[in-house]
Amino acid sequence: DTLWDLAIAEVEKRENPDDDNVKPGEIWEKSILFMGNKNGGKTTIILRCLEREESPKPTLALEYTFGRRARRHNAPKDVAHFWELGGGTSLVELIRIPITTHNIRSFAVVLVLDLSKPDELWTTMESLLQVTRNHVNKILTKLEKTNPEVAAEIKQRMWNDLRRDHPDYALVDPFPMPLVIIGSKYDIFYEFDSEMRKIISKTLRFVSHYYGASLVFTSKSEALLLKARALINHLAFGYDKSKSLSVDPSKPLFIPAGLDSMSQIGPPPASDSDLGKMRANTPLELWKKVFEKTFPPKSFCALQDTKDPAQDIQYAEYEVDVMRAQKNQELEQYKRNASKSWKEMDFDSD
């Protein structure tokens, strides 16, 4: 092999480690994409996971940071790449940047849903997970042609948290990569009417179980942040899975993937007569209709971020801004000249 071949092999090994067989001295390298409601607390959670004492700043597009941890004394530090998608659902197409064919084997997703805004909850969850899933499926389709063994491994891994003898094995549709759903702002959510809390909690339990995801409720409370951090550290650094479980709707939920069941969750929170009137092709669609009957959703357009990041003073650059202003003036002048030329043109009535 040439030096170049060896370099490529080393990069591939670092980007796609065998999770169950990381040898001493090798570096574990993982990537996690955080997405969810705008101002939902994603940055705060990331900073807490990385033990950084910083004040969170608004995320306007796609931001990157990383963390390093050593599994043992004098061992090389493992690396976790943290990507954060800002703008709620308005910039979801940017997920194509961090999730690629090169790192899909070592990628995970953390979806942060603001519990204080139930009217945005389902639309945000559905939009972000749908676009992400479609992108991942395209990558898997490509891998089936170029590297079928890797594609098969990823598809098999989707079912790792659900045993074949689980009663819901045929009823769920696991997300194509590890997924953690975090319900943020539990302190505000706790002040809601108990029946509202029960509906939201039950719905998120179903969604998480259906997608083969872990579910945790958190807030600025140190104890709750530590629980969320435990799930994320498992994805990022391979720490042991937490075996604790909390399904009481009067308390913060904490349910690792594969530990819930449809029988424990129960039917959608609606009367038998209402359920009989609802037409749905899948269980997920039925739960959506029941949830949105109680919490009518905001329109998708209302969730879009209309603020132009280019106008944010945080990103001001004098030379660039001056040139852009000049080009904007030239464009407006061009439009005016083109409009005059158009009006002056003679058209043959025939």
Q: Among 52, 157, 57, 45, which Cα is nearest to 107's?
A: 157
* Tens digit of pLDDT at every position of the chain (350 positions): 567 777 766 666 555 544 444 455 456 789 999 999 988 889 989 888 888 877 777 777 889 998 888 766 666 788 889 999 988 888 888 999 999 998 898 999 999 999 999 999 999 999 999 999 999 999 999 999 999 998 999 888 888 888 888 889 888 999 999 999 999 999 999 999 999 999 999 999 999 999 999 999 999 888 888 889 989 988 888 888 877 899 998 899 999 998 999 999 999 988 877 777 888 888 899 999 999 999 998 765 555 555 556 666 666 788 888 888 888 888 888 877 777 666 665 555 55
Show the domains of the chain with their CATH numbers.
27-294 (3.40.50.300)
User: How far lies 123's CA from each of 117, 200, 304, 329, in Å?
Assistant: 11, 14, 11, 39
CA torsion 313-42-97-324 (nearest 10°) is -10
Strand runs labelled E in the chain: 29-36, 62-70, 77-85, 107-114, 179-184, 214-217, 254-255
Task: Quote the pLDDT of residue 312.
Answer: 64
Task: Quote the pLDDT of residue 189.
Answer: 95
Task: Quote the pLDDT of residue 307.
Answer: 58
Task: Quote the pLDDT of residue 201.
Answer: 96
Helices marked H in 29-165 — which ranges? 42-49, 118-146, 148-157
Task: Quote the pLDDT of residue 278.
Answer: 82
CB neighbour class for 336 (10 Å; exposed up to 12, middle 13-18, buried from 19):
exposed
